[in-house]
Structure 1
Amino acid sequence: MASDDVVELILEDHRSMEDLFRRMRSVDEDRAKALREFSALLVAHAEAEESEVYPALKRYKDIDNDEVEHGSEEHDEGHEALLHLMEVEDTGGEEWDEKLEELSEAVAHHLDEEERTLLNDARENVADERRTELGRAFLKARADQLASDCGDIENVRRLVRG
């Protein structure tokens, strides 16, 4: 990763998620493997945002706290849609396509909204040095999540149950 700026790091993860969606849709790819990679990235990313980034952003008067809370709600929706896809046994079947589309729509909506609101607000209102500090904290929390096998179906079930 070239930058420790939290905005750039989050955007990089977003682009990786989009690439993984392409792989999960492709009949030429190992869809189950792509789903495992996606699950780990989505959970690690969301948990790191909620533990390190979102609480810090709430402290800025020019960043809308309702948008931060909404981002957390959308993470929950994404986890639920992820679980539904993980529970599909046949990666080549109609149910896979249906659940993948539901997950894709939930995540794409969140990425778009987060990029237009929170990330733009962070660029405008959070000093470069602070964004770098947040980026390092985000990376550490994300790495800790990945090391804990956060994308495992049992962990996703736990997150969905709350």
Structure 2
Amino acid sequence: MTNIDLGRPVQGDVVDVILDDHRRFEELLRDLRDSSQDRDAVRRAFATLHVAHAEAEERHVYPQLRRKRAVGEHEAEHGEEEHAEGNAALLAVLELKGTDTDAFEDAVEELARVVNHHLTEEELTILNPARDEVGPRVRADLGERFCAERNRQIDNDCGALANVRRIVSAARKDGLLDEYEGRDDD
């Protein structure tokens, strides 16, 4: 667990709640790059938020947006692949012993690249259609379900190294990391 405040939203428009997390990711990535920060605490907080956020989206948001025809199967599957890539990059950061090495900085750079790409793409191809195609009542209900799952995941220490390893291993078995594995930085 972490002592860094990750927020505990319980309701809200799902688009706004997700965007709030996206801004938290950006702040945590800035802190991971900052050598004056407690980078170990920051990476644990990032891991917790990343896993909780992705699990909540995959369990509730993506399926509902597909049912409402706001996004297609391709967009949802691509979002899941990018979550898997983010988890793989996150695992590389978590598995490093020290936080003051070139290896750590390289791993953080890759994590930032993968996560920032996903945030941009998700905001354009998933959140914009959710705003345009799904009514406020459905977005509020989805926000409540997203928050409940996100908070449950956080309470269960979802960012623990063993759990991130399990998630990445499952993603590999499911073929979600094939394209990412081809990169020379893995």
CA distance 1:148–1:3, shift in 2 (3 Å): closer
| 1:1-162 alignment, distance < 5 Å | 1=9, 4-162=12-170
2: CA distance between counterparts of 1:134 and 1:62?
A: 13
Root-mean-square deviation (CA, aligned residues, Å) is 1.1
Cα deviation, residue 84, structure 1:
0.6
CA distance 1:25–1:131, shift in 2 (3 Å): same
- The residue type paired with residue 66 of structure 1 is H
2: CA distance between counterparts of 1:72 and 1:3?
A: 23
- The residue type paired with residue 143 of structure 2 is G
Look up the SS of the partner of 1:61 in the other structure.
coil
What TM-score results when the alignment is normalised by the length of structure 1? 0.97
| Contact 2:31/2:37 (<8 A) preserved | yes
2: CA distance between counterparts of 1:45 and 1:111?
A: 12
CA distance 1:62–1:143, shift in 2 (3 Å): closer
Identity fraction in percent: 46
Cα deviation, residue 3, structure 1:
6.0
**Structure 1, 112-121 or 51-60: larger mean CA deviation:** 51-60
More helix by percentage: 1
Unaligned runs of 5+ in 1: none
2: CA distance between counterparts of 1:161 and 1:2?
A: 30
Cα deviation, residue 62, structure 1:
4.0
CA distance 1:62–1:140, shift in 2 (3 Å): closer
Aligned length: 162
**Structure 1, 69-78 or 57-66: larger mean CA deviation:** 57-66
Cα deviation digits, residues 120-141 of structure 1 (max 9, x gap)? 0000000000000000000000
Cα deviation, residue 2, structure 1:
9.3
- The residue type paired with residue 120 of structure 2 is D
